[in-house]
Structure 1
Amino acid sequence: HEGKWLTEPEKLLKQTKRFWDAGWNLHTHVNGDKGLDVVLGITEKLAPRNGQDIVMEHLGYSTEAQNRRIGEMGLYVSAQPNYIRILGDTYAKTGLGPDRAAQMNRLGSLERKGVPLGLHSDFNMAPIDPLYLAWVASNRITLDGNAKAPKERLSLDKALRAVTIEAAQVIGLDAMVGSIATGKKADFTVLDKDPYVVGAAKLRDVKVQGVLFEGRWFPAK
């Protein structure tokens, strides 16, 4: 519960600067608030450059103050919402304690701060199922059926954006995919129900009927 890192801060600073100065986008795996303090401190030392993005990957536990820094710094987040679903009750008993465990995945906080946000499955740690991820993020219900920190739920619209256009932003492909617009690939998914009609509570029940990918129709099996 005290937090450990795989890369010592001084080494991480050198690695980060090396890739940043070479023109790369940065995606940093960080799960705890102590580690996030280190990553944000390093990020603040980087010279701003046009066309380079910085993404916090996973972001299992962060404080409200850290989320505010993320928003003010213009960073992106690629979140794994299954932390609250899979680990919310377990970490309440062992590790983080009930208060902090309930606050994992502060995605509602990030939404209120206007942070571009994508949701990922971290396969094979969780199923590759975007609508399920959106359901978890917008409901925050644990495996035992307990609702955790409802103020940290994503809105339905933000949850859907986080598996479409904002997910594309996070990986730097929003000029090509993520929404239907002139000049983009006409890739899209056909669902059996309108998510905006069924609502957040039933997102995981929406079925994919098929996808149109690069001009070809692929029905769901």
Structure 2
Amino acid sequence: MSEYNITTSLFINHVYYWGDPHRDIFLGPESAKNLNPLASVINHDILFTLHSDCPITPISPFFSIWTAVNRITKDEEILGEEQRISVEEALKSMTIYGAQLNSTEDFNGSIEENKIADFIIVDKNPWKAQPVDIKDIKIIKTIIGGEIVYDRNN
């Protein structure tokens, strides 16, 4: 993929929702730990995003980030510890990398001058939160095009 500049979007929620049966029934422990191999993708310099495959699993970017960072299954086991990624890489996969994958990085994906001002305000700093708490981060406000379109307090 790297050699041919092929990008990918990984169904990371698969690790949480179906990681246990893949480990125990379908793939076995060795193969299952490479389910959605994020660290390998990064190590091979492959552009990637994360997705929830909605409606298969709910849309929740912080849950997907949590799964990428922790790789915890429904049975509360870590599946493929060596495939975990940093909070920063997971956040980039939902923002900057997504814009790059869609060839829209000139006008979105990051907060910069002359770009669309789409962003959220959250109740906890994801870089400072405990990794296991990332899925519980709450959105306080959503700003799209410079306008507040959601305010939790109103």
Normalising by the residue count of structure 2, what TM-score does the alignment of the two structures yield?
0.92
Instruction: Report whether the alignment pairs 1:151 with 2:82.
Output: yes
Detail structure 1 runs of 4+ shifted over 2 Å in the superposition.
none
Please, which moves more after superposition, 100-109 or 168-177?
A: 168-177
Instruction: Report whether the alignment pairs 1:219 with 2:154.
Output: no
Q: 1: CA distance between counterparts of 2:132 and 2:60? A: 16
Please, which moves more after superposition, 159-168 or 91-100?
A: 91-100
Instruction: Give unpaired runs (5+ residues) of structure 1.
Output: 1-69
Task: Give the corresponding residue for 1:185.
Answer: 116
Task: Give the corresponding residue for 2:33.
Answer: 102
Q: 2: CA distance between counterparts of 1:152 and 1:88? A: 13
Instruction: Give the partner amino acid of 1:220.
Output: R
Q: Give the secondary structure class of the aligned counterpart of 1:196.
A: coil
Q: Give the secondary structure class of the aligned counterpart of 1:114.
A: coil
Aligned residues with identical type, % of pairs: 31
Task: Give the corresponding residue for 2:7.
Answer: 76
Q: How large is the RMSD of aligned CA atoms in angstroms?
A: 1.4
Q: Which has the higher contact order (CA 8 A, sep 6+)?
A: 2
Q: Give the secondary structure class of the aligned counterpart of 1:203.
A: helix
| 1:156–1:199 CA contact under 8 A, matched in 2 | no
Q: Give the secondary structure class of the aligned counterpart of 2:128.
A: helix
Task: Give the corresponding residue for 2:19.
Answer: 88
Q: 2: CA distance between counterparts of 1:215 and 1:117? A: 27
1:1-221 aligned at under 5 Å gives the runs 70-217=1-148, 218-220=150-152
Instruction: Give unpaired runs (5+ residues) of structure 2.
Output: none
Q: How many aligned positions are there? A: 152
Normalising by the residue count of structure 1, what TM-score does the alignment of the two structures yield?
0.65
Bigger fraction of residues in helix:
1
- How many angstroms does 1:201 deviate by? 2.5
- How many angstroms does 1:140 deviate by? 0.4
